[in-house]
Amino acid sequence: MKARWIVVIAVTVLLLFVGAGQLPAHHGTASYDTSKTATVKGAVTDFQFVNPHVLVFLDAKDDKGSVQKWQGELTSPNHLVRNGWTKSSLKPGDQVTLAGFPAKSGVTSLWITKVLLADGSSLDPSVGN
């Protein structure tokens, strides 16, 4: 009977370790080219202060004057709150300049590393301590 319990416990522990290795990993900036930077200036169309990543949507004009829809991604809200962000830090219509790492796929998306507001002030997007 005692040997049976040892086998049950050993199998359970083994399954926990094997299962843990197969859990999906958090990818963070994996889809962005961190060796390059891009800057986009335009009007905020939406600001989603949600988990797992805060999103900023922006209408920006390209070199020809055509409007391009951009998406910027930030870390989680709880990290941004440590740097003073709130769900009303950005509002539709706000003019901002976003700098960050462009998407590897070439879509109009970036991982935001800098947020500059129209008045010249900035919002710190780094992970808070």
CATH of the domain at 74: 2.40.50.140
Q: pTM (2 decimals)?
A: 0.76
Whether 42 contacts 58, CB under 8 Å: yes
Residues in CB range of 128: below 8 A, 6 or more apart: 79, 80, 81, 82, 83
**111 lies in a domain?**
yes
Output Rg (C-alpha) for the chain, integer angstroms: 21
Residue 62 covered by a domain: yes
Which residue range(s) make up the domain with 100?
A: 38-123
Q: Is residue 117 part of a domain?
A: yes
Report pLDDT digits (tens) over 68-88.
Answer: 999 999 999 999 999 999 999
Structural domain tally of the chain? 1
User: Looking at the domain assignment, is residue 75 inside a domain?
Assistant: yes
Q: For residues 105 and 84, is the Cβ–Cβ distance under 8 A?
A: no
Q: Is residue 24 part of a domain?
A: no
Please report whether residue 51 resides in a domain.
yes
For the stretch 83-129, pLDDT in tens is 999 999 999 999 999 999 999 999 999 999 999 999 999 999 986 54
Cis geometry, peptide bond prior to residue 52 (ω within 30 degrees of 0): yes
Q: Is residue 101 part of a domain?
A: yes
